């Protein structure tokens, strides 16, 4: 049996080009005792993948040249020589951009798809949802009545972070690109308002929509939008640094915050967060969020494209804004 795999061929400078990766085929070898074979159904595409291409110090080692591109995925066990896992089990883990994964099960989790669709385990009940949940509750320390600002509000993480803040009783303002996304954030996700950064002055609109300032800013984009938020903080505000997608493909210096002295004036804090630090609490968070989903309080959105051959153009959607919610690649026909 042949396995299609996307492997890293070179380290990009700026926006990755198509030849950053190669699509190859390799034969799947026989299982050894303790191993299972998983046929991937969906692969998760996340902005963090861009950082994993850089050979620099980070919270996780870079993807090695000629290795399968790192990615989360979900699939079904088709063969098993491990008594813990049976044929037909649905498994999610870090198997990379490929059709099949051979593993001893380390780092993989069995999930129940009888009530929640498979794709949700890569979205709201997966890494993006966990990032949103722990970022907004544990780092942002939200409490009822807080004024919360979310950048990337129509994306996989921001959309969930804002919804969780609403469930917890906060006043939530989003930032997204274009009138269609902003309308979606308000009308379908339940945010109180949304700023269109492509057509409005973010600084001015924050002043208008948050006249008393911001208690919590959940940052997914960095750059000028982070500066606008820093200029509008309330006393003891909390800034959650989750991502900085506006900076990931820079060929020059990263644009840092110019208004950081607002942290001093307002006795505010700005803290980075990486979801892996909360792994021991994933199950409890997933249980709570699944309950919200069942009650109709929390909406999980997935934007799905098909074919492992389409990895590169689908990857580009992470950075050109042509997506809504969680970006997934369907690899099983």
Rg (CA), the chain: 20
Q: Examine the domain organization and report whether 83 and 166 are in the same domain.
A: no
Of 15-19, 72-76, 245-249, the least confident: 245-249
**Rounded distance between C-alpha atoms, residue 55 and residue 256, angstroms:** 21
| 247 in a structural domain | yes
* Domain with 68 in it: 2-123+301-330
pLDDT for residue 251: 67
Cα 149 to the chain's mean position, in Å? 17
**CATH number, domain containing residue 170:** 3.40.50.720
In this predicted model, what pLDDT tens digit does every residue of 302-321 receive, in sequence order?
Answer: 999 999 999 999 999 998 88
In this predicted model, what pLDDT tens digit does every residue of 161-174 receive, in sequence order?
Answer: 999 999 999 999 99
What values do phi and psi take at 185, rounded to 5? -60, -40
Q: Examine the domain organization and report whether 116 and 133 are in the same domain.
A: no
| 294 in a structural domain | no
| DSSP per position, 161-199 | HHHHHHHTT-EEEEEESSHHHHHHHHHTT--SEEEETTT
Q: Examine the domain organization and report whether 154 and 269 are in the same domain.
A: yes
Count the Cβ atoms, other than its own, within 10 Å of residue 201: 12
pTM of this structure: 0.89
């Amino acid at each position: 049996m042949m396995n299609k795999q996307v492997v890293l061929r070179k380290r990009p400078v700026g926006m990755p080009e198509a030849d950053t990766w190669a699509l190859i085929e390799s034969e799947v070898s026989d299982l050894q005792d303790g191993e299972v074979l998983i046929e991937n159904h969906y692969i998760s595409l996340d902005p963090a993948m861009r950082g994993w291409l850089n050979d620099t110090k980070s919270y996780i080692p870079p993807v090695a040249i000629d290795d399968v591109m790192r990615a989360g995925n979900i699939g079904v066990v088709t063969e098993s020589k491990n008594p813990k896992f049976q044929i037909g089990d649905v498994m999610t883990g870090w198997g990379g951009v490929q059709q099949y994964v051979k593993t001893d099960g380390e780092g993989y989790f069995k999930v129940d798809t009888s009530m929640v669709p498979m794709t949700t385990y890569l979205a709201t009940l997966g890494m993006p949802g966990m990032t949103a949940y722990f970022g907004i509750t544990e780092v942002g320390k939200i409490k009822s009545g807080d004024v919360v600002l979310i950048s990337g509000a129509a994306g996989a993480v921001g959309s969930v972070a804002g919804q969780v803040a609403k469930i917890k009783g906060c006043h939530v303002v989003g930032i997204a690109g274009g009138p269609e996304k902003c309308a979606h954030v308000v009308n379908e996700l339940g945010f109180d308002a949304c700023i269109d950064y492509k057509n409005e002055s973010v600084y001015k609109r924050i002043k208008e929509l948050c006249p008393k300032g911001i208690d919590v800013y959940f940052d997914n984009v960095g750059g000028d939008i982070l500066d606008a938020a820093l200029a509008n903080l309330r006393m003891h505000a909390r800034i959650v640094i989750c991502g900085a997608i506006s900076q990931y493909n820079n060929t020059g210096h990263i644009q840092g915050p110019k208004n950081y002295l607002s942290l001093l004036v307002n006795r505010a804090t700005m803290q980075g967060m990486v979801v892996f630090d909360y792994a021991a609490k994933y199950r409890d968070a997933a249980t709570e969020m699944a309950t919200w989903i069942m009650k109709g309080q929390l909406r999980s959105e997935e934007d799905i494209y098909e074919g492992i051959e389409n990895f590169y153009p689908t990857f580009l959607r992470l950075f050109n804004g042509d997506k809504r919610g969680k970006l997934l690649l369907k690899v099983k026909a």
